[in-house]
Structure 1
Amino acid sequence: MRALLLENIHTDAAELLRASGHEVETRSGALDEDELIDALPGIDLLGIRSTTFLTEKVLAGAPQLQAVGAFCIGTNQIDLTAATGNGVAVFNAPYSNTRSVVEVTIGAIIALARRLTEKNAAMHAGIWDKSAKGSHEVRGRKLGIVGYGNIGSQLSVVAEALGMSVFFYDTEDRLAMGNARRCGSLGELLETAEVISLHVDGRPGNQDMFGEQQFATMRPRSFFMNMSRGFVVDTEALGKHIRSGHIAGAAIDVFPFEPKRQGDPFDSDLRGLPNVILTPHVGGSTQEAQQDIGRFVAGKLIGYAQGGSTSLSVNMPPIGAGDLAGSHRLAHMHRNVPGVLATVNALFAEHGVNVEAQNLSTRGDVGYLVTDVNADYTPEIVERLEQMPETIRLRVLS
């Protein structure tokens, strides 16, 4: 199979894919829609990060594409409905860079509280400003976490170890870690905490969740952090409240519009503001995290390509297909309607093919059937399976 890896994915991913017999092409930057359509003919496996958008149009023009690896946490840059409808499995790395994001968040909180960015800028300008004015410890401060998933809950533990009091708000029922306290509403959290840190996912409903009203509700002279998704925050409103002095500082790692390639120009309402830390979407970009992500997602792509495993896929029914029980394996992705399993097995029986092992899993409107057989299947069996009205995609793996 041929794989295309974009956006500086760690070299371990390409090495693992090549070691498994795949031909790999790598590109350093993201591709826009037209570039992606031109690049995908003949590609079976695609690896992207957060800046390449896989749209319905792109997927419709890439019938050979079998699986996509998002070498990051989020998958909001992928049209998952279109991917599923085209029989394309999608994998991501939901845990691999959790610690990296937590550490950069803690570092930014400390830097803001001690006004280190301003001290650093003054020193580089040749100004010696040795003063404790505006500099505070984080111990005893109240941290408010919006989104208490993998990252938010681990941040909670580390922040508490530093002596911070932790409060959190999540729309889902989450178990509090340590002494963290749950708030009944976002408004309650904003009125309580002195540091607000966003760690929400990329679902469409989170767009513009933090704007003028939310900043106005925050406590005076508090800090604001966004290490989650750029489209969640109205940066113009944030800039206004920083300039007024209502917000004492901010650390922003993600933006509504981000450059696609290294060296491209960047602009934001927040540029040039004092005590504002701007970083180019590197919250999860440590060598350790990127290596773990590269290995993890590449392993998922290999498992799907060679064995049909959909374990931890974000859009396909989960089947942890192991080693072949027979000589051949057929992976049948289909619409989840009654009678598909009976029809497939009747076809095998009609041709005298004995089933050695079989796994069926469903997820929403999609069913996934992996069948191992010992007898040679005939072209007629494959053709009839492909022509079933319920079939989304049939893969013959051996």
Structure 2
Amino acid sequence: MNNKQVRIALLENIHTNAVTALKQSGFSDVELLDTALEEEALAAKLAEVDVIGIRSRTQLTQAVLEKASHLKAIGCFCIGTNQVDVDTAQRLGIPVFNAPYSNTRSVAELVICEIIALLRGLVSKSNAVHRGTWPKQARGAYEARGKTLGIIGYGNIGAQLSVLAESLGMKVIYHDIVTKLPLGNAKQVEGLDELLAQSDVVSLHVPQLPSTKDLITARELYLMRKGSVLINAARGHCVVIDDLAEALRSEHLAGAAIDVFPTEPKSNTEALDSPLCGLENVILTPHVGGSTMEAQANIGLEVAEKFSQFIDKGTTVGAVNFPEIALPKRDDTHRLLHVHHNRPGVLSAINQLFAVHNINIAAQSLLTKGEIGYLVMDVDQSDAEVALEQIRGIDGTIRVRLLY
């Protein structure tokens, strides 16, 4: 199948430059939809396409993916991939790509904005003016300069937030499960409890993992300094919302900014159901940490490029559930992709079969990850069809594709 035959669908109003980039790479059948699709409609769409691009609302569950085992690739045009059953995708031989870097700046800037707004009490003051009062006073308003920011998770976003916060004159400490080299004057602390006790502002930047579920409960909230504020622009399952609401009502915390929620509305017309709604000095945003025009444009290009590299060359660099292989193209060869169960003897069996049939291997790269192995192999053009036929019969094969 050449590029012109590959059918691609991009859901959830993905930036149009993804379409432009794909078409410039030779993909002519690219469909752009402005909404997410529910299970039945999603399954119908997946039956029509070879590659699917989504954002955070579309749920590619095990049941959905098992009906679309012909899919060649999945692209999450965002940081996270928790909306995709990546283990099922791996088992079916479908690489999942994302954009872990393109909206880093956007999220960090939102957090800086929220830090200042919360420390100054801007939400409650703005609401009061809207209601017809004039609360001109300094009580409860503080500068960011000199305050301590505690960052939980010092990855791409946490590190960039660290740099921006220091430029405001904040002291930055951070906690991560692994030792990370600090940027600027930031310091890593040994434990979460230590960070909570020392911080005026706590900001979460951790991935969605079993270990980060309910990371912040009533216990952690009451370890925080009285009058401190909490920001979560990471994952909705990290904070127990009922506990946060109680800590705010009791005035142990002075404020919070939440961009992600355990359960989020499925459409822009649906209301958020949360005990945080209506509380003073609480900023609630609709999962827009990475939703800037710049970030979405960059994400569109990043994931579109990964699609192109995989479809054209079999390159899986940046796939979250696949071994990462990038084998350069070679002249006068055809390329075979072989996804198989990760078990001993597969490569030996392939090489023995090729030797029996006098198939010359020009280049070969094999890596494994989890339950699968991924083999990219170039053979002489005259051997391609025989090689494809032979490799299909190898025990443990999940899927095979002849690229060119």
Shorter chain as denominator, the TM-score bin is over 0.9
2:142 paired residue number: 136
What is the CA-CA distance between 1:379 and the residue it aligns to?
4.7
- Residue 380 (structure 2) aligned to one of 374, 382, 387: 374
- Residue 342 (structure 1) aligned to one of 330, 343, 348: 348
Whether the aligned pair in 1 keeps the contact of 2:350 and 2:394 (CA below 8 Å) is no
What is the CA-CA distance between 1:213 and the residue it aligns to?
1.1
SS of structure 2 residue aligned to 1:319:
coil
Q: Deviations over 1:341-398 (max 9, x none)?
A: 2322333333333222222222233221111122334655423312212211111111
How many angstroms apart in 2 are the aligned matches of 1:142 and 1:359? Answer: 49
Whether the aligned pair in 2 keeps the contact of 1:47 and 1:68 (CA below 8 Å) is yes
SS of structure 1 residue aligned to 2:351:
helix
How many angstroms apart in 2 are the aligned matches of 1:325 and 1:238? Answer: 61
Equivalent residues in 2 for 1:150-161 (5 A)?
A: 150-161=156-167
How many angstroms apart in 1 are the aligned matches of 2:298 and 2:103? Answer: 8
- Residue 17 (structure 1) aligned to one of 3, 19, 22: 22
Instruction: Please state if 1:168 is matched with 2:171.
Output: no
- Residue 314 (structure 2) aligned to one of 300, 308, 311: 308
2:8 paired residue number: 3
What is the CA-CA distance between 1:208 and the residue it aligns to?
1.2
Instruction: Please state if 1:283 is matched with 2:283.
Output: no
Structure 2 length-normalised TM: 0.94
1:325 paired residue number: 331
Whether the aligned pair in 2 keeps the contact of 1:354 and 1:375 (CA below 8 Å) is no
- Residue 360 (structure 1) aligned to one of 350, 366, 371: 366
1:391 paired residue number: 397
SS of structure 1 residue aligned to 2:321:
coil
How many angstroms apart in 1 are the aligned matches of 2:19 and 2:70? Answer: 20
Whether the aligned pair in 2 keeps the contact of 1:90 and 1:314 (CA below 8 Å) is yes
What is the CA-CA distance between 1:79 and the residue it aligns to?
1.3
Q: For residues 237 and 48 of structure 1, do their structure 2 counterparts lie closer, same or farther at Cα, with a shift above 3 Å needed?
A: same
Equivalent residues in 2 for 1:1-398 (5 A)?
A: 1-19=6-24, 20-377=26-383, 379-398=385-404
SS of structure 2 residue aligned to 1:331:
strand
How many angstroms apart in 2 are the aligned matches of 1:7 and 1:340? Answer: 40
How many angstroms apart in 2 are the aligned matches of 1:263 and 1:151? Answer: 29
Which region of structure 1 is more displaced relative to structure 2, 113-122 or 184-193?
113-122
Whether the aligned pair in 2 keeps the contact of 1:30 and 1:51 (CA below 8 Å) is yes
Whether the aligned pair in 2 keeps the contact of 1:333 and 1:369 (CA below 8 Å) is yes
SS of structure 1 residue aligned to 2:382:
coil
SS of structure 2 residue aligned to 1:177:
coil
- Amino acid corresponding to residue 149 of structure 2 in structure 1: L
Unaligned runs of 5+ in 1: none
Q: For residues 42 and 351 of structure 1, do their structure 2 counterparts lie closer, same or farther at Cα, with a shift above 3 Å needed?
A: farther
What is the CA-CA distance between 1:158 and the residue it aligns to?
1.3
SS of structure 2 residue aligned to 1:376:
helix
How many angstroms apart in 2 are the aligned matches of 1:218 and 1:253? Answer: 20
What is the CA-CA distance between 1:250 and the residue it aligns to?
0.5
Whether the aligned pair in 1 keeps the contact of 2:120 and 2:140 (CA below 8 Å) is yes
2:3 paired residue number: none
Structure 1 length-normalised TM: 0.96
Whether the aligned pair in 1 keeps the contact of 2:90 and 2:321 (CA below 8 Å) is yes
Whether the aligned pair in 2 keeps the contact of 1:29 and 1:262 (CA below 8 Å) is no
How many angstroms apart in 2 are the aligned matches of 1:156 and 1:253? Answer: 19
Percent identity, aligned pairs only, is 49
- Supply the RMSD in Å over aligned alpha carbons: 1.6
Unaligned runs of 5+ in 2: 1-5
Whether the aligned pair in 2 keeps the contact of 1:325 and 1:356 (CA below 8 Å) is no
Whether the aligned pair in 2 keeps the contact of 1:168 and 1:180 (CA below 8 Å) is yes
Whether the aligned pair in 2 keeps the contact of 1:167 and 1:180 (CA below 8 Å) is yes
How many angstroms apart in 1 are the aligned matches of 2:14 and 2:205? Answer: 23
Q: Deviations over 1:221-257 (max 9, x none)?
A: 1100000000111111111111111110011000111
How many angstroms apart in 1 are the aligned matches of 2:185 and 2:74? Answer: 40
